[in-house]
Amino acid sequence: MLERAAGVYSRLGEHGSGWIGLGLVLGALDPRARPRWARGAHIVAASYGVNQAVKFVVRRPRPQLPGLPPLTRTITRLSFPSAHATTAFAGARAYTGLVPAGALYLAAGLTAVSRPYLGVHYPSDVLAGAALGTLTAELWPS
């Protein structure tokens, strides 16, 4: 049961789609803050692009444990850094001030923790992804 829930929750973060969708939907519902929501969605999308560039340079393979297959499928066999963690922490940082930071970082943290739990990342992958996403959001021009 926990594996299924973690898998479903993790799939919401594929390519940053859940975080981008959050910005687009809430931006449509909140016209006064629409530019801030759009900015956040752009940051999440950019963080995914940065993540992919790093991932294809580093080329670290995903964990493989004999007799213990991953609990979810992945797009590539590349592991470092975690795109899920990158986009989640970029979104959490970008949307802070629009949504309570605690809720955002809880959602981002759950996304990050789900990846090693599902057997598709090393803990260092998600730590690096969280740092990369936060840095991308911090460096994004105002």
Q: pLDDT exceeding 90 applies to what percent of the chain?
A: 74
Range of the domain at 109: 2-139
State the chain's mean pLDDT as an integer.
92
Digit-coded pLDDT (tens) for 117-132? 888 889 999 999 999 9
CB neighbours (10 Å) of residue 75?
8
Q: Which residues have CB under 8 Å from 82's CB, separation 6+?
A: 51, 112, 115, 121, 125, 126, 128, 129
14-18, 62-66, 82-86, range with greatest mean pLDDT: 82-86
Q: Given this model, what pLDDT does residue 9 score?
A: 65
What pTM did the predictor assign?
Answer: 0.92
Digit-coded pLDDT (tens) for 38-50? 999 999 999 999 9
| Cα 9 to Cα 121: distance, rounded to the nearest angstrom | 16
| Cα 118 to Cα 120: distance, rounded to the nearest angstrom | 6
DSSP H helical segments within the chain, as ranges?
A: 2-11, 17-29, 34-58, 83-95, 101-117, 123-139
For the chain, what is the domain count?
1
pLDDT for 19 beyond 90: yes
Residues shown for the chain? 142
Task: Summarize the confidence of residues 16-36 as an average pLDDT.
Answer: 95
| Cα 121 to Cα 119: distance, rounded to the nearest angstrom | 6
